[in-house]
Amino acid sequence: MQSINKMRMRRILLPFMLGLYPFTQAFELTYILGHPKNWQVWMLTSTDIEAASNYKYANDKQFKSLLEERSKKLSYVKYQEGSLATFIEEASSGACHIKIINDQGKELDGWVHCDLLEMSAESKADLARQEQKQQIANRAKVLATKKLTEEKRRADEETKRRELAFINSLPKLVSSGGNTVFVATSLDCANDLRKIVDYGRRSGTGVEFRKKMVELMTLGCAESIDNGTPILKATRSGQFITFTAYKSGKTGVALPENVTWP
């Protein structure tokens, strides 16, 4: 049960430590080393696979005797229960890479099964402090993002308000009927447009009127613009009004009755 609890704690702490990586760089996490049951001392290995295997079969009678013999012949780094270690990394095998200080003050590293590690109270306290710092930093980041979003929203609303006010201050092209306004492309063409419009008023806007208007547009002498289009540089030129359409920049000549002034 103790082994299962340690495994659960490690699965919680290691992802948590990765999330705190920018903060945990500033200090090292210290662990208290244990050893398998019925062992007075335990050893670090040079590979994670060997560390996992030694731990798994530590109390198998045949393997234990072999391991005891092998530990006498090979230069394993040995430690007593309660020794302190600094965590380096964890492997998929379940073994952890650690470093320890031996009795001669020399720093040594090796692998041991992670179930034999228990984080020291000091490191737990350090992590708690770093978590608090990160939470504060995260809250500050969220607040800063909200502030920027709100400032952008207000700026966009102000831009739209100013644009609407500007549009409302402009003259507009209007038509008494339909969704478009017929305008001429030049002052000379405006005279022809005037004649066709007057013809329509006298004779109606039937087939003949439409034929004349289509012919004028085909010749490039007239075009249609959306009803209500705001215009810039509206200038009276004789009996006509020259203009530049807002945003599109299209220029043209309108009949006076097709322009409303603010």
How far, in Å, CA of 111 to CA of 63, rounded? Answer: 19
Of 17-31, 57-71, 107-121, which has the strongest mean pLDDT? 107-121
Compute the distance between CA of residue 208 and CA of residue 212 in angstroms, rounded to an integer: 6
15 and 105 co-located in one domain: yes
pLDDT at 69: 83
When pLDDT is averaged across residues 129-133 and rounded to a whole number, the result is 89
- CB distance 50 to 67 below 8 Å: no
- Residue 106, token pair as written in the block: 């020399």
Mean pLDDT of the chain: 87
Amino acid at 151: E
Comparison of pLDDT for 12 and 233, the residue scoring more: 233
Per-residue pLDDT band for 8 (boundaries 50, 70, 90) equals: very low
Residue-wise pLDDT for 187-240, tens only, equals 999 999 999 999 998 998 889 999 999 999 999 999 999 999 999 999 999 999
Amino acid sitting at position 254: A
Q: Which of 100, 126, 152 is the last residue of a domain?
A: 126
Model confidence band, residue 27 (pLDDT cutoffs 50, 70, 90): low
Residue 13 falls inside a structural domain = yes
Question: Average of pLDDT values for 162-180?
Answer: 93
Residue 112 and residue 29 in one domain: yes
The predicted structure's pLDDT at residue 48: 95
Query: Residue 32 burial (CB < 10 Å; 0-12/13-18/19+)?
Result: middle
> How far apart, in whole angstroms, are the C-alpha atoms of residue 189 and residue 196?
11
Please, are residues 118 and 31 in contact by the beta-carbon 8 Å criterion? yes
Q: What average pLDDT score do residues 82-87 get? A: 91
The reply to whether 108 and 11 lie within a common domain is yes
Asked whether residue 98 falls in the same domain as residue 20, the answer is: yes
pLDDT at 177 over 90: no
Higher per-residue confidence, 186 vs 128: 186
126, 152, 185 — which closes off a domain?
126
| Inter-residue contact 227 to 240 (CB < 8 Å) | no
In a domain, 80, yes or no: yes
Compute how many other C-beta atoms are within 10 angstroms of the C-beta atom of residue 200: 16
Contact 254, 166 (CB under 8 A): no
Residue with tokens 């003949």: 208
Which of 83, 88, 114 is closest to 99 using CA atoms? 88
Between residues 73 and 62, the one the model is more confident about: 62
Q: What is the pLDDT of residue 68?
A: 83
When pLDDT is averaged across residues 244-259 and rounded to a whole number, the result is 95
In a domain, 73, yes or no: yes
The pTM score is 0.53
Number of other CB atoms surrounding residue 181 within 10 Å: 22
Per-residue confidence (pLDDT) for residue 20, from 0 to 100: 44
Cα of 196 vs its chain's centroid, Å: 59
pLDDT at residue 3, as a whole number:
45
Instruction: Give domain status of residue 88, yes or no.
Output: yes
Neighbours of 20 (CB within 10 A): 16
| DSSP letters for 56-117 | HTTT-HHHHHHHHHHHHHS--EEEETT-EEEEEEE-TTSEEEEEEE-TTS-EEEEEEEGGGE
Q: Are 240 and 234 a contacting pair, CB within 8 Å?
A: no
pLDDT tens per residue, range 142-151: 999 999 999 9
Q: How many CB atoms lie within 10 A of CB 11?
A: 12
Judged against a pLDDT cut of 90, whether residue 2 lies above it is answered with no
Q: How confident is the model at residue 123, as a pLDDT?
A: 87
Q: Of all residues in the chain, what percent carry a pLDDT higher than 70? A: 90
Residue that finishes a domain, picked among 93, 126, 159? 126
Whole-number pLDDT of residue 261 = 94
For residues 91 and 192, membership in a common domain is answered with: no
pLDDT of residue 216: 95
Q: pLDDT value at position 24? A: 44
What span, in angstroms and rounded, lies between the C-alpha atoms of 262 and 168?
Answer: 7
Range of the domain at 102: 2-126
Same domain, 111 and 191: no
Please report which confidence band the pLDDT of residue 17 belongs to, taking 50, 70 and 90 as the band edges: very low
As for how many domains the chain has, the answer is: 2
The tokens for 210 are 């439409």
